[in-house]
Each structure stands twice: as structure tokens, then as C-alpha cells.
Structure 1
Amino acid sequence: MGRPRAFDEDEAVRAAVGLFGGRAYDGVSVDDLVGRLGVHRNSLYKTFGSKRGLYLMALRRHLADDVRPLLDALADADDTAAVLRLVTSARLDLLLLAAIERAPVDPEVASEVETALASVDRAIGAALGVTDDLAAALTAAALGIRLRGDAAGTAAALARRLDPLT
């Protein structure tokens, strides 16, 4: 009979979201995970199978805890400025890092990222009543603004230019 788990799996996954969202997959070692999560190496492997297994659980948690609420908020957005403000201010670090770092080399991560971004596109399209192509362009623009860092100023300027188009 095995010993009971000495850590809270849910808390460990939430902590992993923060760690992977701040430093990306390749920037986090198993030693980092063990130290930050307070989990013994053997327990980490027994519970999550591998670093990648924990990463996938963390990515899915991030999508549920951070992307899903964004989609819900976008349903209430009534103009381009509100949409851009919501997307540029959302906690999307892990999604963006996954898209850049892991999706090109991991089909399972690519599928999760693609599904999440398509959901954002649909939510923007529904909120603004625009075509799928324009919704995808707005998602790309908002995420680009987010990556560049000047979210508030750039998003407002872009919204003023785009509102006549939507």
C-alpha cells in the first residue's frame, strides 16, 4: 500500500502555470519544478508522468482558468476598443509562450493552442459581428500589441482606426 500524497496536485498544477508562464517550458528544469512546487522528484514523475505531462496539465489549467474567462468577457464587449482592452490585459503568458515555443515542435500543444486561439477568434467575431477573417486579424493584432508591451496606448489607437471597419 502506497503512502498518501504529501502535496496538493491542484496547487502544484497552478504553481506550474505560473512557472511555465514566466519562463517557458525550456526555461524550467525538473529541479525548478521540484523546488517551486514542493514536490519530490519521484512524486512529480509518479503523478504527472514527466515534465511534459505536468506542462500539458498546466497549459490546460491556464486555458480553463485564464482563457475561458476572457471568452466570457468578450461576449459582453460592445466595441473594438473593449475587445482589444480585454485581450491585451488578459493573463495569456502561458498561451503565448506555448504558441511560440512548444506548438511548433509538439502536436498536442499545437492543438491546444490552435483551439484556444480559434475560440478567441470566434468570441471576437460574435462580439463585434465581423467576419471570421477580420476576427482572426483582430486577435492577431491584439496579441501582437500584448507582445510588444504598450498595450493600453497602442490598443486604444488601433481601436480608433478600426472601429469604422467593424
Structure 2
Amino acid sequence: MARTKEFDPDTALQAALELFWRRGYEATSMAELVEELGIARASIYATFGSKRELYLRALERYGEQHNPVLLAELSQPGPVLPAVRGLVRRFAREAGEDGADGPGRGCFVTNTAVELAPHDPDAARRVAASLGHLETVLTGALVRAEAQGELPGGRDPRALARMLLVLMQGMRVIGKAGDGTARLRDAADQALALLD
């Protein structure tokens, strides 16, 4: 007779996501996962597989939580450019915020792009899919802005979306280095001036 799980896998996955997001893949040990999730090592392996598989599932969960929020922000009826500006400024502000233990934790996708994607094809595919989603959402918003007469003529919505994507992800990296608030704000302001 199979034993029933004595923990909620969904709650455990969320706890793993938070730990990996704070510490990164390499710096997170199985012992820390056992402690953070409050379940035995054997249960982690039986439910999620290896540490790497758990990390990749946590990365997918991150996208499931954050992608709909970005889409909702940029899909509201009415003027589009205020929402795009707000999103870029929010990325700059959040990237510049420090936590209680130092520079911010950044974006889980960006962290994965830096730490794992160069040598892990599965992580690289997930990062590419997430960045592709953000690019698509930004492009869609800027196409709407162009159609509504908010974006000056002659601008390429897709190229602008790509520039904003690279800027926003770069801001996350700069933010992790700490003390970049003025840099982040200035970069956001300069990039957003291209939308005028």
C-alpha cells in the first residue's frame, strides 16, 4: 500500500522557489532545502527528483506567477505608454531596492540566465522562453500604442520592445551589485525618452 504524502508539494515547491531565488542554485545545498521545505531528503527526491529538477520546476513556477501579472499590466484598456513607462520604472525601482541582507535578489529568470544558462541547456531554454514571453508582451503593448497614436511614427515596436527587455534585465543585474539606484533611474529615464 502506497504511503500518502505528509506535506503539500505545492507549498514545498514555493518554499524551494524562494530559497533558490535568494541564494541561487550552486549556493543552495540539499541540507538547506531539507530545512527550508521541512521535509526529508528522500521525500524531496521522490517528489521532485534531483536538486536540478527541483530548481527547474521552481523556475517554471516563477514564470507562472509573474508572466500573467506583466500581461495584465500591459493589457489594460486605454493608453498604453503610461503602463509601459510604469513597468520600466518599477523594474528600476525594484532592482535598486536592497533587502535586509544586502542587495536585492533580482529576477529569478535573470539570475538563472547568469548562473546556469551558459552551461545548462534546459535552464537556457526556460530562460529564453521567459524572455521571449516578456518581449512578446512588450511588443504587443507597443503595437497597440502605435495604433492608438501614442507612439511617434517610424518607430519599430519590436525593436523598442527588445531594447526595453534588455534594459530591464540589465537593471536586475546592476541592482544585484548594489548601490545603483541613480544609474537605474537614469537608464530608465533615457530609455523611456525614446518612446516620446
Pairwise TM-score range, normalised by the shorter structure = 0.7 to 0.9
TM-score, normalised relative to structure 2: 0.74
Q: Which moved more, 1:133-142 or 1:69-78?
A: 69-78
User: Could you say which residue in structure 2 is the equivalent of 1:120?
Assistant: 134
Counterpart AA for 1:143: Q
Q: For 1:152 and 1:81, how far apart are their aligned partners in 2?
A: 17
The residue correspondences of 1:27-106 to structure 2 (distance < 5 A) are 27-76=27-76, 77-79=80-82, 80-88=84-92, 89=94, 93-106=107-120
Aligned-residue identity in percent: 35
> How many Å separate the matches in 1 of 2:43 and 2:31?
13
Alignment deviations for residues 112-162 of structure 1 (CA, whole Å, 9 cap, x no partner): 110110111121222223432221111111222232226765455344434
Structure having the higher Rg: 2
Alignment of 1:161 with 2:190, yes or no, is yes
For residues 51 and 192 of structure 2, the distance between their equivalents in structure 1, rounded to whole angstroms, comes to 44
Aligned residues: 166
Report the structure, 1 or 2, having the larger helix content: 1
Tell me the TM-score normalized by structure 1: 0.86
List structure 1 segments (4+ residues) > 4 angstroms apart after TM superposition: 150-156
Structure 2, unaligned runs of 5 or more: 96-104, 144-155
Q: Does 1:146 align with 2:154?
A: no
Q: Would you say the 8 A contact 1:142–1:155 is kept in 2?
A: no
- Encode CA deviations 1:6-41: one digit per residue, 9 max, x unaligned: 111000000011001011110111111111001101
RMSD of aligned alpha carbons = 2.3
Give the conservation status (yes or no) of the 8 Å contact 1:14–1:58: yes
